[in-house]
């Protein structure tokens, strides 16, 4: 199997690249702004860019699209840029997948829901609250409509090993190890399913191997708010200095609305793969 991963220098993309390679698949991955080791340049907004890797010539069987603008509040005030980097980039990847006659994998989010009745199954009513969420849903639906056999994985609160250590859990770990005092102002009323990026890669591999398509919810075994997630990490650093200030989402006054009760019910995936064990934050920190 030949897989091209768009956005392989990021958290999910890099874990997919690692796992698929370990499973014996031929894998290449691209970067746009951060040239991670082993990646090639590809600008999803300019398919004719002269420095783009010639994906079509490599003829992948599968294209995994991990790239997007993920800064939710920035998207709220930069609507056109959000559209370009989430929707238009996906439109361009759809055209590429058609050209290669490749299957497509799209990474979506629990932000496609309004957070009033989570955690969510795949059949739950959709109601995105923010610009970011609306653009993610539009891109998700375009993939499903345009490319037969598309696989959509909705994921949330992703953490794990990555070269830049940008994710929430890794940033706390790094600051604790460096002896920095942390000031954490975190919402106590936003709940989700923190998920290890390697679990996403492992689940995606099985689904692709078995020719699955459609929407799957992928999430870790924890269901918690950001305050509890931070405390879970901090308990592994008993000498860490920190000020933890729990706030309501309303008090945070963020530009973009958030789904409060987000996260996922993973029953669909678990029924099809009963032997698959999702990990949790403790597993990651102990490892």
Q: What residues act catalytically?
A: 132
Q: Which residue is listed with tokens 């989700």? A: 192
The encoded tokens of residue 258 equal: 């958030």
Residues in CB range of 246: below 8 A, 6 or more apart: 186, 187, 188, 227
DSSP 111: G
| CA pair distance 146, 162, nearest whole angstrom | 31
CA diameter of the chain:
55
What letters, b where the CB count within 10 A reaches 16 and e where it falls short, cover 163-176? eeeebbbbebbebb
Q: Which residue is listed with tokens 């698929």? A: 20
DSSP 83: I
């Amino acid at each position: 199997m030949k897989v091209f991963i768009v956005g392989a220098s990021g958290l999910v993309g890099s874990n997919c690249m690692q796992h698929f390679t370990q499973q014996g698949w031929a894998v290449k991955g691209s970067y746009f702004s951060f040239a991670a080791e082993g990646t090639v340049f590809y600008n999803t907004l300019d398919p004719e860019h002269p420095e783009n890797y010639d994906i079509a010539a490599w003829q992948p069987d599968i294209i995994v699209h991990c790239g997007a603008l993920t800064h939710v509040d920035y998207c709220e005030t930069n609507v056109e840029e959000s559209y370009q980097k989430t929707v238009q980039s996906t439109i361009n990847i759809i055209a590429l997948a058609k050209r290669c006659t490749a299957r497509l994998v799209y990474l979506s989010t629990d932000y496609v829901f309004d957070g009033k009745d989570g955690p969510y199954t795949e059949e739950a009513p959709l109601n995105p609250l923010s610009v970011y969420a609306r653009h993610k849903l539009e891109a998700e639906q375009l993939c499903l409509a345009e490319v037969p056999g598309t696989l959509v994985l909705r994921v949330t609160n992703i953490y794990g090993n990555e070269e830049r250590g940008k994710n929430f859990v890794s940033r706390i770990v790094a600051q604790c190890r460096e002896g920095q005092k942390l000031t954490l102002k975190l919402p106590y009323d936003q709940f989700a399913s923190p998920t290890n990026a390697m679990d996403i890669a492992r689940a995606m591999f099985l689904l692709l191997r078995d020719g699955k398509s459609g929407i799957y919810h992928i999430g870790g075994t924890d269901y918690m708010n950001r305050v509890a997630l931070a405390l879970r990490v901090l308990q592994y650093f008993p000498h860490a200095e920190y000020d933890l200030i729990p706030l309501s989402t309303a008090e945070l006054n963020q530009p973009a609305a958030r789904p409060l009760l987000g996260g996922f019910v993973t029953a669909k995936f678990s029924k099809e793969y009963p032997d698959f064990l999702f990990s949790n934050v403790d597993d990651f920190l102990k490892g």
